Amino acid sequence: MDVAVVGGGPAGLMAAEVMSRAGLVVHLFDAMPSVGRKFLLAGKGGMNLTHAESFGAFVGRYGAEAERLRPLLEVFGPQAVRGWAAGLGSDTFVGSSQRVFPTDMKAAPLLRAWLHRLRHPSDGGVPVSFHMRHRWKGWDAGGRLHFETLQGGLRVHARATVLALGGASWARLGSDGAWVHQLQTAGIDVAPLRPSNCGFDVVNGWSPYFVERFAGQPFKSVAIHVVDAAGHVFLRKGEFVATATGVEGSLIYAASSLLRDEIERTGRATFELDLLPDRSADQVLAQVSHPRGSRSLSSHLKSRLALEGIKMAIVNERVDKATLHDPARLAVLLKALPITLVRPRPIDEAISSAGGVVWSALDDSLMARARPGLFCAGEMLDWEAPTGGYLLTACLASGVRAGKGVVAHLRAAIQSTSASRISE
């Protein structure tokens, strides 16, 4: 066969489409019974495709790997994602947070239309063949791809291969990170896989009372402030959720790389929780200091600051009794309550993962320098991004880059072979 794509997530499907349109015979293999399982899961809360902020700000969301990804995103960025969705019959709209969604907010119709187009291309492309329940186990001694199937072992020779096997989060959906050993054995450097967009455990845990009453409840209209040992600062308003062991949710995910790295450096990370971000420190102090008469502190704070429920509960959870009765000290903590974290939750619980095939192991077309003809794409590359459409956009962009890389590689091989024959 011309090309084998291993992995049926967005990156693998996009690479397959690019190569199909170029006239290559593409066979896509996946260990699961169907493709796009994590894609479908991501769409359950509303399919966030990409983000509508300025391109410069968009690229900046990729942190340390922003400049590595910029050339890929310049070719297939947010506007291209919206055009791709429209071509599959899904118009998009921009939400209040600048996130971009299909108008029906669903992932399944988009995936169905995409798979139909891959199987039955109308633009002159070659239909993509799908092989489910084929788990990649590496290469045999002859360099053939080795798969485990329900019928036993299968060896496949391909002129080029695209690996798009995901990271190591949500293993039950197919991304288990088992490929790391195979690539390292092949001489391809892989940075350790780590949780990203993840929750964390708090130091000493929550009290049984707090867990019973408030685990699973959200902190709404709060802000968190993080400053790590290197001086990096995170400050944002939003919401997150208390869990049985700590915290998770959108605001925590947005700061997760900073928090995770700080824990790796020092053993713990602390963020300051502003329970009243819409009030100034002076306003909070004035209200806390207001005479409360015979009312309890809880009643007083509820009346003066609308502080109740889980917000009041975490004050009681993390503030000692002496401070509770010291208005000046209490007012400071209501604006900057320290919450110390000791570990990220296991990588399998994370939305995504950091680490993967290092960029120096690949050329500009995402082909492995140590194994010509092998290309890598998607979350198995060494990058990470926050939620908000950034993950999906970069996966699609890397699939485009790898697909085009394969086309160029095979054409160059044909030209080289033809030139050799002529010279003979």
Pick the CATH number of 3-195+350-423 from 3.50.50.60, 1.20.120.1080, 3.40.630.10, 3.40.190.10: 3.50.50.60
Which amino acid, one-letter code, is at 86? A
**What is the tally of helices (H) and strands (E) in the chain?**
16, 19
> In the prediction, which pLDDT does 232 show?
85
What is the distance between the terminal CA atoms of the chain, rounded to a whole angstrom?
27
Alpha-carbon gap, residue 290 to 298, rounded angstroms = 13
Q: What pLDDT is stored for residue 416 in this prediction?
A: 61
Alpha carbon of residue 124 to chain centroid? 34
What is the H or E stretch that residue 327 is in?
A: helix 327-335
Instruction: Evaluate the CA torsion angle 370, 378, 1, 25 in order and state its sign.
Output: negative
161-209 per-position pLDDT tens digit: 999 999 999 888 888 999 999 999 999 999 999 999 999 999 999 999 9
pLDDT at 292: 85
3-state secondary structure of 341: strand
Domain ranges in the chain? Answer: 3-195+350-423, 200-344
**pLDDT at site 414:** 73
Dig out the tokens for 152 from the structure: 């036993």
Contact 82, 91 (CB under 8 A): no
Q: 174 Cβ partners below 8 Å, 6+ apart?
A: 7, 8, 9, 30, 31, 32, 37, 38, 166
Residue 249 φ/ψ region, left for φ over 0, alpha for ψ in the -120 to 50 degree band, beta for the rest: left
Coil/strand/helix, residue 215: coil
Rg for the chain (alpha carbons), in Å? 25
pLDDT score at 294 = 86
Number of neighbours of residue 343 by Cβ within 10 angstroms: 18
Instruction: List the alpha helices (DSSP H) in 76-185.
Output: 78-87, 108-119, 179-185
Residue 362 has what pLDDT? 98
Return the closest-CA partner of residue 244 out of 214, 269, 264: 214
Distance in angstroms (rounded) separating the CA atoms of residues 39 and 107: 7
- pLDDT, residue 417, reads 57
State the Cα–Cα distance between residues 229 and 357, nearest whole angstrom. Answer: 27
- Is 225:277 a contact under the CB 8 Å cutoff? no
Average pLDDT for runs of 10 along the chain of length 424: 93 98 97 93 85 96 95 98 96 93 93 96 92 96 94 95 94 89 96 97 97 97 92 93 97 96 95 97 95 89 94 96 93 97 96 96 97 97 95 97 97 67 53
pLDDT, residue 223, reads 98
